[in-house]
Amino acid sequence: MNGDKPVFHKKTLAAVLALSAALMVSGPASAKDFKVAVGDGAGGTQEALGKAFIEAFEKESGGAHSAKLFLNGQLGSEQDTVNNAAMGTLDFSILAINNITPFSPTVGTLTLPYVILSLEDAVKVTQGPIGEELVANTVRDAGVRIIGWAYSGFRVLTNSKRPVSSVADLDGLVIRVPKNEIMIETYKSWGVNPTPMAWSETFAGLQQKVVDGQDNPYITVYAMKFDEVQKYVTNIRYIFSIEPLIISESLFQDLSEKDQKAVLAAGKAATAFSETFLREQEAKIKEELVSRGMEITDPANDEAEFISLATKAVWPKFYESIGGVEKLNTILTALGRDPVK
């Protein structure tokens, strides 16, 4: 160029500046920037929901955006991911609902023992007006937005010591629970003083006999390979495990209206997929766990003892934290059950 400076026409310079500005503002929406934290390992409901979300998100955004899953708590504990998303340092997280309850207590209504009695109940509650209210409350309380729901099935009790068919059989067992007051109080109602333990420490705790047992859905037991350290399963079915997919509210608000719609549509599609996934996979997984040596026991008296003790002792303790007994009654009425008097 013989040392001459390049000459730009005004229109060319304007176009370059416009392109540079567009590239600068597109940074937060770059596909490589979207990370999805997942508490569980491969093969579980959380991973299935995450994969379905990413596939739908790519489609809804016309291929402009994507995301990557980080399994097994690589991006922190489930409760840590709520904090990180609230601060805007994490994009998405899929976590057990009991780990968002400390940040938005009204969500705890869905973790009260024996409120949700079927997959149909879970779908009706989360995808109707009650679910919409919980989403709004979580945005307000926790700085994160629920955009999808994974349905993982009922939490069942596993342990390494003996079959359990009654409350009396729990005596002497050391049971791990999440750091969640409702779940802690439920075990106390059965005469057990449970051991709160982070999810990331649970497998090692079971393996090293620090704790004898834990509870989670069959799909989670399978995904986390608990059959390697647990032998006995009891269908206490006290909580139906619902696992929200959350997005940082600050990130959501920074997205364009088009991208917000893509996120919400992808979350809805992933939720529908999760319902189908549970229906198709749970029975197969139970059979697989039995083939690996696990023994499954149903509670005596059709769970009546577990239900009576838990609902009478636990529900009243949390009326205030969930926003009043009327919040529980709204759900019970919606599900065709008698309200609490």
pLDDT tens-digit readout, 171-228: 999 999 998 899 999 999 999 999 999 998 999 999 999 999 999 999 999 989 999 9
Least confident of 149-158, 169-178, 256-265, 300-309: 300-309
Query: Do 147 and 229 fall within a single domain?
Result: no
Q: For 176, phi and psi rounded to 5 degrees?
A: -80, 140
Is 15 inside any structural domain? Answer: no
The answer to whether residue 160 is domain-embedded is yes
203 and 116 within one domain: no
- Pairing assessment for the beta strands 213-216 and 156-159 based on DSSP bridges: antiparallel
What value does the mean pLDDT take over residues 270-281? Answer: 96
Residue 94 has a pLDDT of 97
Residue type, 313: A
Taking residues 321-341, report their average pLDDT: 95
Task: Confirm whether 339 is domain-assigned.
Answer: no
Q: Sorting pLDDT into bands at 50, 70 and 90, what band is 41?
A: confident
Are 160 and 86 in a shared domain? Answer: no
- Ranges of beta strands (E only) in the chain are 35-38, 68-70, 92-94, 144-154, 156-159, 176-177, 195-196, 213-216, 232-234, 240-248, 295-297
Q: Which domain holds residue 97?
A: 32-151+242-281
- pLDDT tens per residue, range 64-99: 999 999 999 999 999 999 999 999 999 999 999 989
Residue 219: which of 99, 38, 78, 45 has the closest Cα?
45
Provide φ and ψ at 159, rounded to 5°: -155, 165
Q: Is 6 inside any structural domain?
A: no
In whole angstroms, what is the distance from residue 274 CA to residue 227 CA? 23
pLDDT score at 14: 42
Tell whether 75 is covered by a domain: yes
Average pLDDT over residues 293-317: 95
Kindly state whether residue 23 falls inside one of the protein's structural domains. Answer: no
Whole-structure pTM value: 0.85
Query: How far apart are the C-alpha atoms of 69 and 152, rounded to whole Å?
Result: 18
Instruction: Please count the structural domains in the chain.
Output: 2
Report the range of poorest mean pLDDT among 36-45, 241-250, 285-294.
36-45
Over residues 290-314, mean pLDDT: 95
Return mean pLDDT, the chain. 90
For residues 271 and 293, state if they share a domain: no
